[in-house]
Structure 1
């Protein structure tokens, strides 16, 4: 767990019995790294005068909020995956938000039906392919990744990571459990190495010839191009957009939810509305290199090159509902073993 320089004293607060609401503050639990959040919260503070205190958690936000209960100091939870948003809702640690500003800024398909979470940005789960060893038309569908032609040619992070769990849930939504089990077995058989590392580590492996393609999120291309060491990895690959056989390219979201305890509820709702606004969305997209969900905000910069794809139209809540089954399948085929 990494703390922001402006973090509130959670270590002490976690064991306390009460926390007074501070009229000009809002407290956030975030899965997002500091550099991806603080420019946004700084802009919000400049606009409103409300100070944002952040604690960064690598995992366990739902569990922490549940354990803290009504004593929790957190007002808002920020996450990077639909399965984590759903986990927060299922844990009973969020509350519904009625806001005309949020309803206007966030399309219905990017909202929880009960208004307990709202998406902020989207990203595609795509293939990073070697420029030297893979042709543009060689990658077609997600289903084809289980084909024997890819034997020993694929790298990916853990099959139990939220990003891959969501993709597996997407396959289950398309084809059902038994097909997805066989697909996972085929994909596992095609791995060049045991699942390990993050998405950028897979691109590094492609650049070094350890595998020919890897699974990853779109925004990592922009992040690697900005890094002196990782630019050479990015230069060695191109992004290709597989689809489901009867659908589009799998997409996932980052999002937010108002906590059930929320000692600074009104301030938190103001922050939610700012993050979904045109100004907030533009800044969020620029920093994270993801696609804004607010339709009034255009995509700019490096990511303009990676917008020519058709997102799959699977309902996000349906995918979230399948997450437990997707994890179970990955465990049953021992994907990471």
Structure 2
């Protein structure tokens, strides 16, 4: 905890990377450590880290910031970065880190056996540069009093003239949206995807704003009739004891999109070993731990995400209540590659 507090103070005051490396170097001379940069800031992850230290004796020094600030920090630190592992959310951020050369390939029989190929970075024979450790799905929610479930069974339906003035979304430039749009480009082709996106813009109830939870509340309030959200936001509301959240859930319906075609869009939280990691062995050991059944359970029960490892068992009744569904098995790496095309497409159609 002391090292974590020191690091936080140094970052806040703008102390240089060389000094930061010195502080971590002192700690590493005294004990086995892992330096983690994480965009996950869930209190429930504390048990995840504590259990790793208990099992291995490796202490975790971590910095928790938003995805973009973390990427900027790694970029600025360059080869002097003290970080061993970068953990971020969404294919868009993993792809960005990969193309900027932040990661190094990892060859691990354990990770390759447990994590499906479409949920890890491309392996050119030297190993994958990143791995997905939990998944979430992008689903459709609708106002039960205003929209018929049969009218919103597919992502393509969101562009239907039936929904004019009824659609709410967050900003199109958000990575969650870029990944989703990127998957639609991959499935529909760019021309048809652009036509579809123009339909989304035409159907907007209001300019895109807010996060996924805001979209769900807006649907419940009747501000819009339909929206898209990541599943863990929906499950948070299902698990909430707040009266206002219970009221929202009562008014909103839930749809697994594209069950008769491509399947529902999936994204991940993932991590990789950084190129200049000073503690590479500990970093690989940490990634392998994240794929353990025990760690996978923390992801599911703590932040309502699905484990990527088939043998892991989640004890989350609300997550289980969503039931089985057909998931889109499109490669996460492919979705990442489509980020630039997705942003250009949204710019062309005026999607803010």
Answer yes or no: same fold by TM over 0.5: yes
Question: Among residues 169, 178, 186, which one is paired with 1:173 in the alignment?
Answer: 186
Q: Give the aligned length.
A: 334
**Structure 1 residue 265: deviation in Å?**
1.6
- 1:74-100 CA-to-partner distances (Å, cap 9, x unmatched) read 111111101111111101010011222
Residue 153 (structure 2) aligns with: 140
Residue 282 of structure 1, CA deviation: 1.1
The 1:226/1:303 distance shift into structure 2, 3 A limit, reads closer
What do residues 191-234 of structure 1 show as CA deviations (whole Å, max 9, x unaligned)?
11111010000111111110111110111122123342433323
Distance 1:5 1:207, change over 3 A: farther
Does residue 311 (structure 1) correspond to residue 314 (structure 2)? The answer is no
Cα deviation for residue 4 of structure 1 reads: 6.9
Distance (whole Å) between structure 2 residues aligned to residue 88 and residue 104 of structure 1: 24
Deviations 1:259-305 (A, max 9, x none): 11111222222211111111110111111111111011134421112
Gaps of 5+ in 2: none
For residue 40 of structure 2, what is the aligned residue in structure 1? 32
TM-score (norm: length of structure 1): 0.92
Which residue of 102, 117, 127 corresponds with 1:108? 117
TM-score, normalising length: structure 2 = 0.89
1:51 matched to which residue of 2? 59
- Which 10-residue stretch deviates more, 81-90 or 263-272? 263-272
Q: Does 1:332 align with 2:345?
A: no
Residues 238/4 of structure 1: CA separation in 2 closer, same or farther (3 Å cut): farther
1:255 is aligned to: 270
CA distance in 1, matches of 2:235, 2:59: 30
Q: Decide which structure has greater helix share.
A: 2
CA deviations 1:116-174 (Å, max 9, x no partner) are 00000111100111233233322121111111101111111011111110110011001
Match for residue 15 of structure 2? 12
TM-aligned CA distance change 1:272 to 1:6, over 3 Å: farther
Query: Is the 2:293–2:313 contact (alpha carbons within 8 Å) kept by the matching residues of 1?
Result: no
Shift of 1:313: 2.4
Distance in 1, Cα, partners of 2:207 & 2:42: 30
Per-residue CA distance 1:16-69 (angstroms, 9 max, x = gap)? 384427142211111212425322112212222222122122224333212211
Larger deviation: 46-55 or 152-161? 46-55
Tell me by how many angstroms 1:319 deviates: 1.3
**Structure 1 unaligned spans of 5+:** none
